[in-house]
Every structure is written in C-alpha cells, then in structure tokens.
Amino acid sequence: MLIDIIFDHQDFVVLNKPCGIAVQDEEHRQGIIPIACAQLGLERLWLVHRLDKVTSGLLILAKSEKAAAEFGRQFEAHLIQKFYLALAPKRPKKKQGTVSGGMKKVRDGLWMLDESFNQRATTQFFSFSLMPNMRLFVVKPLSGKTHQIRVMMKSLGSPILGDSLYKGEASDRTYLHAYGLKFEYQQQNIELLCPPKEGGVFISVNTQSFISSLALPWTLNWPKVKHSA
C-alpha cells in the first residue's frame, strides 16, 4: 500500500490516512504507522493525534520525541485547527451552529452526549444541501474526544452515511474525512487541504465540484466560543 504524503517536514509528516486502517497495529493487520515508516525509510514515527479506523484524511505523525511533545503542547492549547467533511442523508435539527455536551460511554463502544460536564466535547459545523437527500457538513471540533463528530452528527438526527455504529444508512464506507489543518510550526504558517479520494459519493463529480467551490474552511464564519476542556 502506498500512502499519500501531503506534507513532509524535517520534524513531522502529514499523510492522507485511508479509511479502514487503524492508526496502530491490530491483531491481524498493520496500522498506518509501520506502513508509513517503511514507505519513508524511518525507524519510528510518533502519533500526536488520532483518527478513527473508519475515518480517512489528514494525520500528523512526528519524527522525533521532541516534535511529538511540541504537537502535544499545541493540541492541549487548541492551537491546531482541524476541519472535517461528512455526508449525511437526513437533514439536521439545525443547519449550522455549535453542539456541546458531556461524552458518556454507554455500551459496545458507543458514546452519547449528555448534560454533564464530564469529558466535555464541543463541535461546530455548517451544513449544505449537496443533492436531494444528501447534505455535506463542514465540521470543526474544538476538543478531541473519542467519536466526537460521529456522536455530534447522531445527536443532530443526521448520522453519518455508512456509520453503522451510530445508525447511519448503509454505504460503501463511513463518510467522514479529515479535510483541513491549520497551525504554526517554528514560525511557519501551515495550511493543508486534502479532498477525499475514497467512497463513491465523495468522489462523484457533483461532490468534488461542490467541495472545490467552498471557501477555505478556516475562513468560514465560525462562531467564537470558549474551548472545551
């Protein structure tokens, strides 16, 4: 498997993680890290954030412990902006806004939002009509909780297409993709976009054209809110 390298820096690499591959090794399958190490000829890479196995898109891997610590500091300080694309057939309860709540683990790997302040997760989104019975969501998580975007979409009444764990309609993949990153590293402003390349609906001419017509995700009129812990 050849991984798309989106940005290669002396301290880190940003790649396009395919959907269906975990970030770390599973019992019977390699994760993305050893595959990337072999492709780049590196002995080790450090994971500084995660993507679910079903999610594709931009993933940062540090090339040293020092760089990993710096990314850890930036993520903790909310200095790295992440933007996702998601597709859902059902209209959400609201077309745009902020969703915030406590993340509560319920059963079988499932999470849900509640009114508590435990594991608080805050997510912002815009949604657009893509075609009949299909909406495109641009999503900005302000915290980094497990399944945060998937749970948020379910809470809106618009589970992600293909996300069977959260009652999404069956499809050829889970239609969630890490699309954009914006951050500063050693006084260099880094802005990266990676349109999805997997999934019949994502790669359709209509969807690709709509994505290309959107403004850069960090220039959208995101509401200002306090960061979730």
Catalytic residues: 52
Query: Which residue is associated with the tokens 């080790």?
Result: 44
Question: Contacts from 93-100 at CB under 8 Å and sequence distance 24+?
Answer: 93/156, 93/157, 94/156, 95/126, 95/127, 96/125, 96/126, 96/127, 97/124, 97/125, 97/223, 98/122, 98/123, 98/124, 98/223, 98/225, 99/123, 99/124, 99/125, 99/152, 99/155, 99/156, 100/225, 100/228
The residue to which tokens 């812990």 are assigned: 229
Q: Which two tokens stand for residue 187?
A: 């006084």
**120 with 100: CB under 8 angstroms?**
yes
DSSP class of residue 174 equals -
* Encoded amino acid at 32, one letter: I
